[in-house]
Amino acid sequence: MAERRIERRTSVVIKAELRMPGADGQIQSTPVLIEDRSVSGVGVRMQDPLPLGTKAKVISSNAEFSGIVMRCVPVESGYLIGMRGEWRLPAAPKDSGVRPIWDLSGRRRLPAAQRPAEKVRAARLKNQHKRFSDPTVRMQFMLETAAHISEGQIELEGWRTAEQFQDCKVRVPEMKPHREKGDKDYIWRELEKTNPFSLAPNAVFTLRFPHRPEGRQVFHFCYEADPGLRPLSEVLQRLRAYYHLIERQRAHAEMFGVDPIDAVLVETNGEQRARRLMEMVESTALSGSGEKATIFQFTISPLFTVVVDAGSDQKLSACLVRPEMILEPLWAAPDFTMHALGGYWQEDVSTSEATASSGPE
C-alpha cells in the first residue's frame, strides 16, 4: 500500500458499481461510492467488507478501474475499501443515441455578422492573443459589447468581480453518505453541523431591459467560471454554497447587494463535464434531500472560443466575431431546457421581429 500513499489523491463523489466473481462463479454487482482516486488506486465506500487480495472492478459512467483490495476499514455506515490497480476509459459506442446539448458542428464555418469594419478591427485589438483565455474577462467583454450594439435594448450594470467578495462566507452543512437496508444506491444526508465556506463568485452583474414593461426590466446573475482544473468535489462544494446562500438561507441580498438572483451561470470547459455537473445538481449530493435546485444554468467555453471566419481571410474567436451570442439561448438548466439571459432571445428578438413585420411595406 506504500505505493498507493505516495501518489496524489483526488477527492471525488461518484456513484459506481463494484463487480467481482461470486462463490458460484457468477459476476456479482454491488453499488459503491468512489471517494478518492489516484493514478493507480481508488478508495470506495460500500456496505459490506471485502477480504484483502480480492480481485474486482469498479465501473463508473466514464471510467473503469481493475485491481485488488489492499485495505478494508470499518467506518460509520459501511466500509472504506482501498484498491490498487489501473484505470482505463471505456470504449465509446459508435452511436450512443445521446444528442449533444450544445451543437458545435458547423460553428467553425459561421459567417461573421454584418458589422462595420471598424468594430471588427476594435474587436481584434481587444483580443491581445491570450487575454480571453480568462473566462471572466471574456464574459465581461461579450456582455459589454452586446449591450453597446443593442441600441439601447440592453444595459449592463454593476459588474463586480471576485476581489470584491473575498470576505463572503456561507455556513454549509456537512454531508454524510447513507444507504437504507435493502436499497442499492447511496444517498447524501445533511448533518446539523455546519462549516464556513468562502464564496467569491467570478462575477455578479445586472442586465437591464429599459424598453420592457415594469417588473421585467432587471435581472441579476452570479457567474461561476469552471475551466475544468478543480476536482468535481470542490466544484460541488461551491455549488452547494450557492444553493444554501440563495435558495435555503436567502441571504444573497445582504452578501451580494442584489435581489433576486435570477440564475447562477456556470461556464465549464466541455459537454462531458457540464453533464456531470448537471447530474450533481440534480442529486442529493447538492441538497441532502429530494429538493431540486432551480438556480443553476450551464454553458460550455468552446461555444465562445471556437475559431470562425471573420471575413477578409480573417480568423477570430467566435466571442470576438459575434459577442452578442452571449444573449442567445445557450444556457442549459439541469432538465436540459435552454435559457437566454433575462429571456432576451425569446422576448426582445421576437418582439422586434413582430414590430418589423407589422410595419409599413
Contact status, residue 342 vs residue 207, Cβ threshold 8 Å: yes
pLDDT tens, residue by residue, 259-289: 999 999 999 999 989 998 998 898 888 887 7
Check whether residue 273 and residue 308 sit in a common domain.
yes
Check whether residue 79 and residue 114 sit in a common domain. no
pLDDT higher at 125 or 288: 288
Beta strands in the chain (DSSP E): 10-21, 27-37, 41-46, 55-59, 64-75, 78-88, 155-161, 169-178, 187-198, 203-208, 218-226, 261-268, 296-300, 307-309, 315-317, 331-332, 338-339
Q: Does one domain contain both 150 and 181?
A: yes
3-class SS letters over 110-174: CCCCCCCHHHHHHHHHHHCCCHHHCHHHHHHHHHHHHHHCCCCCCEEEEEEEHHHHCCCEEEEEE
Asked which of 61-75, 182-196, 239-253 is least confident by mean pLDDT, the reply is 182-196
Query: Does residue 227 sit in the same domain as residue 349?
Result: yes
The set of residues, in sequence order, having a beta carbon less than 8 Å from that of 41 and lying 6+ positions away, is 4, 7, 9, 67, 70, 82, 83, 84, 85
Report whether pLDDT(140) > 90.
yes
The range of the structural domain enclosing residue 72 comes to 7-88
More confident position, 118 or 69: 69
Q: Quick check: 357 pLDDT over 50?
A: no
Higher pLDDT, 76 or 304: 304
> 57 and 140, same structural domain?
no
Picking from 56-65, 86-95, 206-215, which range would have the lowest pLDDT averaged per residue?
86-95
Average pLDDT, the chain: 81
Sequence-distant (6+) residues with CB within 8 A of 104 are 302, 303, 306
Instruction: Please choose, from the candidates 14, 9, 45, 5, the residue with its C-alpha nearest in 3D space to the C-alpha of residue 283.
Output: 14
122 pLDDT band, cuts 50/70/90, is: low
The total of structural domains in the chain comes to 2
Q: Is 319 helix (H, G, I), strand (E, B) or coil?
A: helix
Is 245's pLDDT higher than 90?
A: yes
The identity of residue 329, as a single letter, is P
- Do both 76 and 155 map to the same domain? no
185/70 same-domain check: no
Question: Residue 93 falls within a domain, yes or no?
Answer: no
pLDDT tens digits for 148-200?
988 888 999 999 999 999 888 999 998 887 776 666 667 788 888 999 999 99
Residue 265 to residues 146, 283, 312, Cα–Cα distance (Å): 17, 18, 35
For the chain, give the percent of residues with pLDDT over 70. 79
Which three cell numbers mark 28?
A: 456479482
Say what the pLDDT of residue 181 is: 67
- Predicted TM-score (pTM) of the model is 0.70
Average pLDDT over residues 211-237: 90
Is 97 a domain residue? no
**Whether residue 68 sits in one domain with residue 133:** no
> Do 193 and 300 belong together in one domain?
yes
Give residue 14's pLDDT: 80
- Grouping H, G, I as helix, E, B as strand and the rest as coil, residue 232 is helix
Whether residue 210 has a cis bond before it, omega within 30° of 0: no
Is 98 among the domain residues? no
CB of 157 closer than 8 Å to CB of 144: no
